[in-house]
Amino acid sequence: PLLAQWLWHLYRAEMVVIVGVIVFTFSPLAIQSSATAFLDPLMLALLVGSLWAGAAGGRGRPVAAGMLFGLALLTKYQALLYAPLIVGQGRLFGWAWRKWRRWLVGLLPPLALFLLWQWAHGAPFVWQAQAANYGGLRLIWSWELWPRLNEWGRVWSAVLGTPPFFLALLLPVFIAWLVQQEDWETALDQLFTAALPAYFLLLWFVAGPVEDRYLLLALPLVALVVARLTARAWSLLPLLFPRIGVGRWMPALWIGLCVAQMPASVRAYHSQFPVGSWPDADDGAAQVGAFLADAPYGTVLYDHWYNWQWRYYFFDTGVYVNWFPHPAALLDDLRVFAHTPGSRYLVLPAADAAAPVRRALRDAGYRLETAFAATRADGQPGMILYRIDPP
């Protein structure tokens, strides 16, 4: 409902609203992410609500928009990624400084309550803890470029249930179309369309984990782009076929879109896409957790890719999880602690991205012995657990 309301207040076009809702509802990513305890869907709902409030009635409801954005920001700091869209939409709707002051009136109370709660409890800053779940932020290394592109391409295929190059071809066509026009609706299209490649590049070049839930932020934008491209193409039909009443064929178009997305939706219903609630979502972390469950105190697990998952499996065991940002940091730690009591393990994905880590250890004289190799439900190899033997 929030997506439909937002699209309606943006364009006042029935075609855009219905097509956008169809694309979002039948998306495999939305279906397989519906049963989750992660905060990303809640954050997304608050962000779309903020965009809707900013466009409501053509003039917007600044206080509500600011409050919803503030709540989204408290949910996860990644909500900041929508700030340019919210500001850009407000400018296109002609918000004067008076409305932005009202927007701040809505934004500041949730932030103030949050900071007061943090101060009263003296706990680590929530956003800092969220960033620490995957080891902070950095740009990727050169050897991570193609492995990450391949991994993100696999995840992006679940957005529409089509190969990712379909969306990669769709965007340039739509952008080329938008360059030819300069009306207000085109400016809105340009704003939200440009956000998609920008977000893709951010996910690719910033070395966070490849998590499908991060693509939920892109899903409303994909729905908007597909809906607007469909509406623009449909508006050309009366010029090409003036004798055919195009309006009466709209229900057929909507039914056709539903039928076209049905196979992918059925696959998503059975959790057959590598996103969300699929059997291999943890890449074998549960199997590795069971293998190390009885490990004695002093056992160290070195990890770079799966950090936050181990807190679930090892919070009450003798295993200490040591995250390393790059191979050099791992070697520095081993030089100091490799000969201390306790086994040392290294967990790596069964992918080429792990090759530089293995190579660095072997070049330094360390021996890697496979202690356990996880197997995914589809029969493909999962993460691999190595025992590190010092030179």
* Burial of 34 from C-beta contacts in 10 A (0-12 / 13-18 / 19+): exposed
Is the model more confident about 69 or about 341?
A: 69
Report the range of poorest mean pLDDT among 20-34, 109-123, 171-185.
171-185
Residues 120 and 13 in one domain: yes
The predicted model gives 90-105 an average pLDDT of 94
Tell me the mean pLDDT in the region 137-160. Answer: 84
- pLDDT at residue 275 in the model: 76
More confident residue, 332 or 37: 332
Residue 130 has pLDDT above 80, yes or no: no
Q: Is residue 278 in a domain?
A: no
CA 59 to chain CA centroid, nearest Å:
30
* Residue 218 CA: distances (Å) to CA of 48, 64, 210, 224, 294: 11, 23, 14, 10, 41
- Res 340: pLDDT: 86
Burial of 51 (0-12, 13-18, 19+ CB in 10 A): buried
* Residue indicated by tokens 């839930």: 213
Do 9 and 155 have their domain in common? yes
Tell me which of 25-29, 134-138, 162-166, 311-315 is least confident.
Answer: 134-138
For residue 81 the two structure tokens come to 């990624």
pLDDT in tens, 187-215: 999 999 999 999 999 999 988 778 888 99
- In tens, the pLDDT along 161-180 reads 877 666 666 777 677 666 66
Q: Is the pLDDT of residue 334 over 90?
A: yes
Q: Read off φ and ψ for residue 206, nearest 5 degrees.
A: -95, 130
Asked if residue 279 is part of any domain, the answer here is: no
- Inside any domain, residue 277: no
Q: What is the pLDDT of residue 164?
A: 67
Over the chain, what is the mean pLDDT? 86
**Average pLDDT rounded to a whole number, residues 287-314:** 88
User: Is residue 176 domain-shared with residue 293, that is, in the same domain?
Assistant: no
Range of the domain at 203: 2-269
Determine the average pLDDT of the residues in 313-331: 89
**319: which strand partners?**
299
pLDDT the model gives residue 316: 85
Tell me if 15 sits within 8 A of 234, measured CB to CB.
yes
On whether the pTM is more than 0.75, the answer is yes
| Structure confidence at residue 277 (pLDDT) | 65
Q: Same structural domain for residues 163 and 215? A: yes
Give the pLDDT band (50/70/90) at residue 383: very high
**What percent of the chain is modeled with pLDDT above 70?**
88
Is residue 185 domain-shared with residue 240, that is, in the same domain? yes
CB of 218 closer than 8 Å to CB of 196:
yes
Do 212 and 322 lie in one domain? The reply is no
> Residue 245 — very low, low, confident or very high, per pLDDT cuts 50/70/90?
low
What's residue 89's pLDDT?
96
Average pLDDT of the segment spanning 75-103: 94
**Residue 289 forms part of a structural domain:** yes
Together in a domain, 28 and 155 = yes
pLDDT of residue 352: 77
Count of structural domains within the chain: 2
Task: Say yes or no: 322 and 204 in one domain.
Answer: no
**89 and 50, same domain (yes or no):** yes
> Considering the chain, what percentage of its residues have pLDDT values greater than 90?
45
Same domain, 250 and 359: no
Sorting pLDDT into bands at 50, 70 and 90, what band is 280?
A: low
